[in-house]
C-alpha cells in the first residue's frame, strides 16, 4: 500500500473512531426488542455506478444523511470477468458471525447471482457465480438478490425477482412494459454452497401483476409483546406508470416467509405519489430512532439517492433533499446500520 492510500485509510479510521474489535449485531432488517440505539452507529451504503460494469463501491455515514466515500473512492470489489455475466448490480451486504457476505445481480438476463465474502470490507474472497436456479432453463432473469438472516430458521435468506416463461406466456396481462413478468422468489442456505430449491415468495393478486425488489423488515410494533409482531415487505410495482406502477408499496405477514397480504397497499413513494414522483426501486427499510427509514433509488431524478421516514408506515416525509452523497447518481444498493465497534479496520 503506498503512503497516500495508507494516509487515506488512517484518516478514515480517525474520523470514524474505529477500533479493530467488536461484534456487529443482527442485520438492520431485524430489529431486536430492547436493543438500545446509540449515536455510535454507522451507516454503510454499498452501491454501483453506470450499468454495474466497474464493480461495487461503499459510502459511510454517521447520521444516515451525510454519506462519504469509503476507502478513498476506490472500488471495494471489482467486477469479475465472467463474460456476459460480469456485472455487479444491486449489491446486498449482510454481516454475520464475523464475516461480511455480499450478493449481486450478474446480468440483465441470467439465472445466476454473484457472491463474495470478507472479514474486513477490503480483502474479499474470490467471487463465485451461484447457479441459484440449478438446472432450470425456463427462467429469463434473476434480478436484485437481497440477503437477510432468517431468525426463524437460522439460515441465510436470499430474495430476488425472476420471470419464468410460463408466467410470461400465460396471457393474463400481468407483464410489465419491458417484456418481463416478474414474481419474487427465495432460497435459503447455511454455507453459500448448498441452497434450497427456489420457491415463490410473493405474487400480488386482485389484480396480479409484475413485482420486483422485495425487502423484508421485522416490526415489533413498539410493544413488549411478541403477539403483535409482524413482518413488513416493501416491493416495487413493476407495471407502467399508466397502470399504477413504478412505485414502492407495502404488504405484511405474521411470518418472515409469509404468506403476505395478497393485495399490496397504496404507493408510498415513487411514480404517482407526492414523494419523488417518478420511478422508484431498490428499497431498504429499517427503523432508527423511533422512525422507519426507507431508502431507494430513483434513476434520473434530481436526487442521487432518496430517503423518506415514517413513524407508522402510513404517513411518510420526504427527506431526500437532506441527503449528501459522494456521487451524482449512485445506483441500487442496501443501507446497513451497525455499531461503530463492529466495523473492522481497513488496514491489513
| 62: CATH | 2.115.10
Beta pairing class for 89-96 and 113-118: unpaired
Q: Do residues 44 and 59 lie in contact, with contact meaning Cβ atoms separated by under 8 Å?
A: yes
Mean pLDDT, range 144-173, rounded to an integer:
96
pLDDT above 90 for 1: no
pLDDT above 80 for 101: yes
CA atoms within 13 A on the CB side of 267: 25
CA–CA distance, 329 with 282 (Å, rounded to integer): 14
Per-residue pLDDT reduced to its tens digit, 236-250: 999 999 999 999 999
- CA torsion, ordered 239, 184, 336, 157, to nearest 10 deg: 180
Q: Do residues 161 and 211 lie in contact, with contact meaning Cβ atoms separated by under 8 Å?
A: yes
Return mean pLDDT, the chain: 87
Give the per-residue SS3 of the chain: CCHHHHHHHHHHHHHHCCCCCCCCCCCCCCCCCCCCCCCCEEEEEEEECCCCCCEEEEEEECCCCECEECCCCCCCEECCCCHHHCCCEEEEEEEECCEEEEEEECCCCCCCEEEEEECCCCCECCCEEECCCCCCCCECCCEEEEEEEECCCCEEEEEEEECEHHHHCCCCCCCCCCCCCCEEEEEEECCCCCECCCEEEECCCCCCCCEEEEEEEEECCCCCCCCCCEEEEEEEECCCHHHCCCEEEEEEECCCCCCCCCCCCCCCEECCCCCCCCCCEEEEEEEECCEEEEEEECCCCCCCCEEEEECCCCCCEECHHHCECCCCCCECCCCEEEEHHHCCCCCC
φ, ψ (nearest 5 deg) of residue 89: -95, 155
Beta pairing class for 143-150 and 155-162: antiparallel
Domain-located, residue 301: no
pLDDT above 90 for 348: no
Range of the domain at 193: 3-287+327-342
Mean pLDDT, range 271-294, rounded to an integer:
96
Residue 37 burial (CB count, 10 A): 13
Mean pLDDT, range 66-95, rounded to an integer:
92
CA–CA distance, 102 with 325 (Å, rounded to integer): 22
Domain-located, residue 275: yes
CA–CA distance, 312 with 336 (Å, rounded to integer): 21
Q: How far apart are the first and last CA of the chain?
A: 10
Residue 267 CA to its chain's centroid (Å): 19
pLDDT above 90 for 11: no
Domain-located, residue 176: yes
Q: What is the pLDDT of residue 203?
A: 97
Closest Cα to residue 147, out of 111, 106, 183, 104?
A: 104
Domain-located, residue 294: no
Domain-located, residue 317: no
CA–CA distance, 76 with 94 (Å, rounded to integer): 15
pTM of the model: 0.87
Number of domains in the chain: 1
Per-residue pLDDT reduced to its tens digit, 159-194: 999 999 999 999 999 999 999 999 999 999 999 999
Reported confidence tier of residue 119, pLDDT bands at 50, 70, 90: confident
Domain-located, residue 306: no
Domain-located, residue 322: no
Residue 194 burial (CB count, 10 A): 8
% of the chain with per-residue pLDDT over 90: 75
Domain-located, residue 296: no
Amino acid at each position: 500500500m503506498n503512503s497516500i492510500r495508507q494516509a487515506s485509510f488512517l484518516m478514515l479510521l480517525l474520523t470514524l473512531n474505529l477500533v479493530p474489535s467488536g461484534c456487529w449485531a443482527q442485520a438492520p432488517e431485524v430489529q431486536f426488542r430492547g436493543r438500545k440505539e446509540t449515536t455510535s452507529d454507522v451507516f454503510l451504503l454499498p452501491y454501483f455506478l453506470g450499468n454495474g460494469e466497474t464493480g461495487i463501491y461503499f459510502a459511510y455515514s454517521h447520521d444516515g444523511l451525510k454519506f462519504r466515500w469509503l476507502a478513498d473512492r476506490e472500488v471495494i470489489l471489482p467486477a469479475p470477468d465472467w463474460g456476459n455475466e460480469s456485472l455487479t448490480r444491486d449489491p446486498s451486504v449482510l454481516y454475520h458471525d464475523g464475516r461480511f457476505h455480499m450478493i449481486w445481480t450478474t446480468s440483465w438476463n441470467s439465472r445466476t447471482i454473484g457472491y463474495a465474502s470478507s472479514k474486513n470490507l477490503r480483502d474479499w474472497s474470490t467471487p463465485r457465480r451461484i447457479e441459484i436456479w440449478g438446472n432450470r432453463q425456463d427462467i429469463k432473469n434473476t434480478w436484485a438478490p437481497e440477503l437477510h438472516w432468517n431468525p426463524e430458521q437460522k439460515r441465510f435468506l436470499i430474495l430476488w425477482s425472476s420471470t419464468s416463461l410460463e408466467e410470461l406466456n400465460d396471457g393474463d396481462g400481468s407483464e410489465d412494459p419491458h417484456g418481463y413478468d416478474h414474481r419474487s422468489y427465495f432460497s435459503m442456505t447455511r454455507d453459500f454452497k448448498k441452497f434450497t430449491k427456489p420457491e415463490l415468495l410473493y405474487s400480488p393478486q386482485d389484480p396480479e401483476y409484475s413485482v420486483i425488489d422485495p425487502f423484508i423488515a421485522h416490526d415489533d410494533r413498539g410493544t413488549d409483546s411478541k403477539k403483535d409482531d409482524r413482518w413488513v415487505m416493501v416491493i416495487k410495482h413493476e407495471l407502467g406508470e399508466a397502470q399504477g406502477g413504478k412505485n414502492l408499496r407495502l404488504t405484511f405477514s405474521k411470518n418472515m416467509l409469509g404468506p403476505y397480504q395478497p393485495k399490496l397497499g397504496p404507493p408510498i413513494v415513487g411514480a404517482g405519489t407526492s414523494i419523488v414522483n417518478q420511478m422508484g426501486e431498490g428499497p431498504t427499510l429499517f427503523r432508527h430512532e423511533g422512525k422507519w427509514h426507507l431508502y431507494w433509488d430513483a434513476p434520473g431524478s434530481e436526487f442521487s439517492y432518496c430517503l423518506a421516514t415514517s413513524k407508522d408506515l402510513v404517513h411518510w416525509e420526504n427527506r431526500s433533499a437532506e441527503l449528501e452523497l459522494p456521487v451524482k447518481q449512485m445506483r441500487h444498493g442496501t443501507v446497513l446500520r451497525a455499531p461503530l465497534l463492529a466495523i473492522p479496520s481497513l488496514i491489513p
